[in-house]
Amino acid sequence: AQSVTQLGSHVSVSEGALVLLRCNYSSSVPPYLFWYVQYPNQGLQLLLKYTTGATLVKGINGFEAEFKKSETSFHLTKPSAHMSDAAEYFCAVSEAQGGSEKLVFGKGTKLTVNP
């Protein structure tokens, strides 16, 4: 069964600084990987996904993530943080399980952006 570990439940950065949110996964087969963002009082919104092909994936709002199979990682980055990036971020993994696919979420990382 697959699992996701997000290192750091809280990350705080200054406006303009690099954002790095860490995600490691466990999967017995090639995984599909996702990052979702949740702003206060809203649902989750897809930032980006990795299925196959290029390992560096670009998403919305300037975010990108790199799939590293050897490290079983899918870290999320953004070169320069904006105040509007403050939100909860969830990494998720999905794999085929004999026709019963489920999306498994990490516990989330709350990003705070300081002025």
Q: Are 2 and 93 in contact (CB under 8 A)?
A: yes
Binding residue (CB under 8 A) for other proteins from 44, 66, 72, 112: 44
Q: Which listed residue (59, 86, 103, 112) binds other proteins by CB under 8 A? A: 103
Block residue for tokens 């200054």: 14
Smallest distance from the beta carbon of 64 to other proteins, in angstroms? 16
Q: How many CA atoms lie within 13 A of 29 on its CB side?
A: 9
User: Applying CB under 8 A, does 40 fall inside the site for other proteins?
Assistant: no
Give, as ranges, the residues between 73 and 92 that touch other proteins (CB under 8 A): 90
Specify whether the CB–CB gap between 103 and 94 falls below 8 A.
yes
- How far is it, in rounded angstroms, from Cα 71 to Cα 63? 20
Chain residues binding other proteins by CB under 8 A are 32, 34, 36, 41-46, 49, 51, 90, 94-96, 99-103, 105-108
